[in-house]
Amino acid sequence: MMSASGTFSLAGRSAVVTGGSSGIGAAIATHFARHGAAVLLCHHGDAARAQTLCVDLEKQGARAWHRDCDVSEEAQVAGLAGFAKDVLGQVDIVVNSAGIGGALCDLAGMTTPVWDRMLNVHLRGTMLVSRAFLAPMMTRGWGRIINISSQLARKGARGHTHYCAAKAGIEGFTRALAHEVAPRGVLVNAIAPGPVETPLLASLPEEWRHRKRAELPLGRLGRVDEIAPTALLLASAAGGFFVGQVLSPNGGDVMA
């Protein structure tokens, strides 16, 4: 594997990517590795796919590990941080991409456990993982935290009140944390993708996906490899002036 040179190089950097065994997280981890970073993939119950991806990256010359972790559980996140210290030494970049889907459900019929699980994985998980790696970044005076939101945080969608609330919370968290830690050299930003072909989106009804394709100016859903370069921008030297921003590669689903 050839490490990229110049402002997009991650040579000498190390990254933890939650949700890193599939979908957007896997694409980001792969993109980072191809630009020189050592990567630790965090997954939950997806060990075979995570191991396959690590083997593929290692065959290309990258350094890659994986670790099972439910990001909504504080003790498991502490274990992830300890494992990262063992295999990576220091962690320069954290990408909070772990997420869950589920059937569409209007609020009137939604159970409290379904609501809680969605917010716990997306919002609580983003907080726990960010906090676990933050202090050493501030001590060194350099770090990047990249949170994965969604364009639905801005526009909303029927049947997605829990998901939209979680993602909107992530955007507020991103801006507030950016204020706290940018003076210490840690840049916190978010990415709000549009509808992208991922296992999470595949869990939704085909009728919903067909309607979404028709709504987009491009007339198609996005690909994960169209999202990963935005994470590379924010993680690399090229992204050194982005603070508390939400970048949205969304195919025109939201224009602002």
How distant, in Å, are the alpha carbons of 23, 124, 201 from that of 33?
16, 27, 25
83, 133, 163, 173: the active-site residue: 163
97 is catalytic: no
Tokens 């290309």: give the residue. Answer: 60
Query: Which residue matches tokens 């609501």?
Result: 115
Phi, psi of 84 (to 5 degrees): -60, -40
Comparing CA positions, the residue from 139, 80, 97, 122 lying closest to residue 234 is 97
3-state secondary structure (DSSP) of residue 96: strand
Pairing of strands 143-148, 186-191: parallel
> Rounded to whole angstroms, how far apart are CA atoms 179 and 137?
15
Q: Is 221 within 8 Å of 209 (Cβ atoms)? A: yes
First to last CA, the chain: 38
Active centre residues (catalytic): 163
